[in-house]
Amino acid sequence: MINYLRYLFKQKHSFMKNKIIFWIDADLTIFCMSKFLQEKINHDFFAIIDITNKPKLFFNKQNLVRFMKSWFYHDYVANNSVKPDLEYLKKIEEKYDFQIWELIANDRFFQNYNDFYKFSYNEMLSILEQECKLYELILDEINPDYFVTHETALRNQHVFYLMCKKRGIKILMLNYANYQSKCYISQYSHKIDQLKDFKLMKSGRTFSELENQLDIKHVSIDHKKLYENIRTSKVAKILAAIQLIFQANENIKTHYTYFGRTKMRVFIHQIFFEIKRKYRKHFIDSTFSWKINPHESYVYFPLHQEPERSLLIAAPKYTNQVETIRHISKSMPVGFKLYVKEHPTQGPARGWRKISVYNEIMRIPNVVLLHPSLSSRDLIKNSSLVISVGGTACFEAAFFNKSSITFADLGYDPISSIHKISDISELTCSIKKSLNQPVNISELDKFVNLLEQNSFDFDLLGFELEFHNWFYYGGNLVDVDISEHKMELFLVQKNNELEKLSLEFKKKIHSYEAS
């Protein structure tokens, strides 16, 4: 009788379409892809749109993608100092298994990285309360089968991802593979879903052969190229400045992420940004070490760009890199120096760090601060050990037969020479163990085979650079008018890439439906 009722239930609901909800923001990759995906699958599309006011007009009127319903994030989440409902937030923490204050502490708008506005206690909690209520309303209303997103870069996007995951909604997250120009789609950030197939992979390549594979297109070169080309065109900067001067500044009233950003303050901030960047670069060039001592044994620690997801979301308890350096320095055995290298994109993207931060690092005993132009490849190759909070350096180290330590879960579990530590108290023992552990070439080869088998060619960083140049004045201004005609021209130009990308999403959806 029970089986018969199940059969009737399946028959009754067999005609129902699956529902997909998309996260769409200033990174237009997912929106562009969804247009091609809709032509390939017969599912109902929904969207949460986190965008500024000018492009909002385009998303309100566009007919390129047929969304059954969409929600504009900032229509529902406004800044106010009303006393938050703490009981509701406590229930949210318990229901979805995340910590509200950890999310707030690592939000780039709420904390140290915001030069324009300081949020109050009530404001921050009220924003989280409104946000969670919106997300629960959406999830209760449509009960989606799938959530499609790019890598969760900001807190509000990551909260929705965590809520979807807890509810058992299947995640399709577009990840940059950090290996050649490949991407993959998975349930997690920086972790392929097929790790269970690791033991089935073949091996047989040498370190030299694998190193050549890594160097076909080095990931750090891709990132450096992206940040060196975004916001560099003088013509684009002038056009963006003209737009900013003459357009109404509505976001300052409607988007809490824009609070305090008056036109005058933005212009003054940008002028000082350029001055500080040049001054800091002069300090870096004249003070940092330009050479590696070939006779010195060292542990290599590459700094992360800040602010960035790899710290704020992937390693939320290790966001203070100066303190992390201090802990590493204290935990190393005698006979080793700690080589710390500035991230090469910290300058182009963020204007370098405060000189006081660099001075603090250089005052730590046993630490050598290296110039960002030095080759990461050479530093890894000649090191005794690599330590990274949550970057690709640990993965790259394995190609040079170097063990490594990471603080973030990046899906490298099958490679035993990459040690993931969960508490800083483990550091001393992990360093001692790692210094004496060679890389298992078979494990690395199998992992690379698994990665190659489950990834595909898509130049994600190149695509990002393209839409920044096409729509956002070279990345200088995202609050812009977007016409449907201009979007259509862009989609035609990127047709081949987006066709391939949408086919990969279709394939992933079909794999979920078949399981």
| CATH number where 459 lies | 3.40.50
Q: DSSP labels for 293-309?
A: -TT--EEEEEPPPSS-H
139 and 31 within one domain:
yes
Within a domain: 9:
no
Taking each helix axis from N to C end, the angle separating 460-471 and 29-38, rounded to the nearest 10 degrees, works out to: 100
Same domain membership, residue 465 and residue 367: no
Inside any domain, residue 256: no
**What is the domain count for the chain?**
2
How far are the Cα atoms of 4, 14, 28, 63, 512 from residue 10, in angstroms, in the given order?
A: 10, 6, 37, 33, 18
Indicate whether 245 belongs to any domain.
no
In a domain, 491, yes or no: yes
Question: Residue 248 falls within a domain, yes or no?
Answer: no
Lowest mean pLDDT among 71-85, 210-224, 438-452: 210-224
CA-CA distance, 14 to 384, in Å (whole number)?
59
Tokens of 422: 């969960």
Count Cβ neighbours within 10 Å for each residue of 273-302 and write b for 16 or more, e otherwise.
Answer: eeeebeebeeebeeebeeebeeeeebbbbb
Residue 2 forms part of a structural domain: no
- Are 381 and 404 in contact by the 8 Å Cβ rule? The answer is no
In a domain, 496, yes or no: yes
74 and 189 housed in the same domain:
yes
Q: What is the pLDDT of residues 151-191, one digit of tens each?
A: 999 999 999 999 999 999 999 999 998 888 899 999 998 89
Confidence of residue 233 (pLDDT cuts 50, 70, 90): low
Asked if 370 and 223 sit in the same domain, the reply is: yes
> What's the domain range around 180?
17-193+454-514
Does some domain include residue 476? Answer: yes
What tens digit of pLDDT does each residue of 320-359 get? 999 999 999 999 999 999 999 999 999 988 999 999 999 9
Q: Are 224 and 283 members of one domain?
A: yes
189 plus 272 within the same structural domain: no
Considering the domain architecture, whether residues 267 and 404 belong to the same structural domain is answered as yes
Tokens of 123: 């404001």
pTM score, two decimals? 0.91
Taking residues 244-249, report their average pLDDT: 72
Are 418 and 504 members of one domain?
no
Tell me the CATH number at 351. Answer: 3.40.50.2000
Residues 377 and 485 in one domain: no
Measure the CA–CA gap between 393 and 377, rounded to whole angstroms.
9
- As a whole number of angstroms, the distance between CA 18 and CA 513 comes to 10
DSSP alpha helices (H): ranges in 47-168? 53-61, 73-76, 86-96, 100-105, 121-142, 155-166
Q: Say if residues 300 and 386 touch (Cβ distance below 8 Å).
A: yes
